[in-house]
Copies of this chain bind each other. A is one copy, B any other.
Amino acid sequence: MPELIEGNAVIGQSGGPTAVINQSLVGVVEKLREFGAGRGSPIKKILGMRHAVRGLTQDDLFDFTDTPRQTLDLLAQTPSACLGSTRDKPDAAYCQRIFEACRKHDIRYFFYIGGNDSSDTCRIVNELSNEAGHELRCFHIPKTVDNDLVISDHTPGFGSAARFVAKASMADFMDNISLPGIKINVIMGRHAGFLTAASALARRSDRASSTDGPQLIYLPEVAFDTERFAHEVAEIYDRKGRCHIAVSEGIQDKDGTPIGAKLIKNAQTDAHGNVQLSGSGALGDQLAELLKEKLTPKGGKPVRVRADTLGYMQRCFPDASPVDQLEARGAGHHAAQLAAEGELDGSVAILRTGKPGPDEVYGVRYERIELSDVAAKTKHMPPEFIKGTSDVSEAFMHYARPLVGPLPEFERLP
């Protein structure tokens, strides 16, 4: 293993925040300190970039080297990115400014917590900096509520967002039973349906009944067909007088065109080319309108249709999954450990030690993978997690249940 190089460490948080991204930040800080950072180890200072690479290039840094233990613990349990985030995508000139800043601040260890766009940034900074002769050891710590990073079994941030979606869906299904009609919930997930699929956790697992909502789940992985959608809803509504539906914000038609993006007026696009899907109710409203039109009998009483878009609350609601908190912290620890042990770069993968299923003893291990293995790649729901055109499989339920933590127990009248 190469020797440690003398210099400072810097940590950034990038992309959409989550309920546990600060756990990863604190994980890196405390593990580097355990390895002696700031107290005699070759790693001198532990700095944080405000608003990720943007702050780094503007000398906007926060020094974590001596932050009190109590502050770290409170930060860890605080949702959202305490350093601030960015959606900047550094081009060559921007990268030049990044490693100039690294040189200026004597930075040799670069930790970047984020999704696949962020790991790509990390990879590019790593390559360009080393080419320019400033050795920079770059480590990526995974984060995304979408759960769309390859190799890892799942990604920190997902479990907590899935927990919110499951609890919101549980309660909203009870609401739908109470005041019947058709209810649509639009759930986050640009390309991957994992978070929308998590709405299925709202169904009771301990009962024979399999008729709990959401009865219909629409994922980006299954081409969305308007006619089939209306038909499937009508079939359930005609039978029950109600229907509870989960729809991914990322649903696409058979040509792969996202349906939501077209509906948002003046939809905004970030530097990574991601068109705005969240922060608007347009998709839900459009689908509600469609069902009102198609399902209301001619001259008859309008069918009650309501749509909610779960929105940004999904990623930061202060009720993180305990497993997710631990693993986000653990991923931060592992990245710091890789650096402290002399690795030159890498990303952290979270691998499941058991096989998901009713008898699983849940556990994970952390492993170093190449930055290029995870950068700019997207994982989708595998076929075995999808059931038909509008549901998820039991395999998905086994996969997801341990990640969200215990859910409340609800009772219903017979």
Interface residues of A (CB under 8 A from B): 13, 16-17, 19, 48, 62, 71, 74-75, 77-87, 167-168, 170-172, 174-175, 177-180, 183, 264-266, 268, 276, 278-282, 284-285, 288-289, 292, 302, 304-313, 315-319, 408-413
Q: How far is the CB of A349 from chain B (nearest CB, A)?
A: 25
Closest B-chain residue to A284, C-beta based? B281
The answer on a CB contact under 8 Å between B280 and A313 is no
Are the C-beta atoms of A167 and B62 separated by less than 8 Å? no
Name which residue of chain B comes closest to A308, CB basis: B311
What are 7 of the A-B contact pairs (CB < 8 Å)? A17-B175, A82-B411, A266-B292, A266-B302, A285-B285, A308-B309, A308-B313
Quote the shortest CB–CB distance from A53 to chain B (angstroms).
14
- In whole angstroms, how far apart are the Cα atoms of A311 and B77 in the complex? 26
**Assembly CA distance A308 to B265 (angstroms):** 15
Q: CB distance B309 to A311 under 8 Å?
A: yes
Kindly state the separation between the CA atoms of A175 and B87 in the bound complex, as whole angstroms. 13
Chain B residues with CB under 8 A of A71: 411
The reply to whether B281 and A171 form a contact with Cβ atoms under 8 Å apart is no
The answer to whether A279 touches B266, judged by C-beta atoms less than 8 angstroms apart, is: no
- Shortest CB-to-CB span from A263 to chain B, Å, is 10
Number of copies: 2
**Known A306-B280, A312-B172; contact A17-B178, beta-carbon cutoff 8 A:** yes
With a cutoff of 8 Å between Cβ atoms, the chain B residues found around residue A174 in the complex are 17, 78-80, 82, 316
Give the complex CA separation of A74 and B412 in angstroms: 9
Q: How far is the CB of A97 from chain B (nearest CB, A)?
A: 19
CB neighbours (8 Å) of A265 from chain B are 285, 289
How far is A158 from B338 in the complex, measured between Cα atoms in Å?
Answer: 50
Q: Is the interface of A mostly helix, strand, loop or mixed?
A: loop
> Besides the contacts A167-B319, A268-B302, A281-B284, what 13 more A-B pairs have beta carbons closer than 8 Å?
A62-B413, A74-B409, A77-B409, A79-B175, A79-B410, A83-B413, A170-B318, A279-B305, A280-B281, A280-B306, A281-B282, A308-B311, A309-B309
Of B178, B266, B304, B409, the contact of A80 (CB 8 Å cutoff): B178
The closest CB in chain B to the CB of A306 belongs to B279
A16 x B179 contact (CB < 8 A): yes
Known contacts being A172-B316, A285-B280, A410-B74, is A178 close to B81, with CB within 8 Å? Answer: yes
- Residues of chain B within 8 A of A302, CB atoms compared: 266, 268
With A82-B411, A266-B302, A302-B266 known as contacts, the answer to whether A279 contacts B292 (CB < 8 A) is: no
Partner of A179, one of B86, B183, B311: B86
Least CB separation from A87: chain B residue: B179
* A157 smallest CB distance to B (angstroms): 13
CB <8 Å contact, B306 and A78: no
Contact B268 A281, beta carbon cutoff 8 Å: no
Residues of B within 8 A of A288 (CB): 279-280
Nearest B residue to A286 by beta-carbon distance? B265
Q: How far is the CB of A148 from chain B (nearest CB, A)?
A: 19
B316 near A175 (CB under 8 angstroms)? Answer: yes
Interchain nearest-CB distance for A278 vs B (Å) = 7
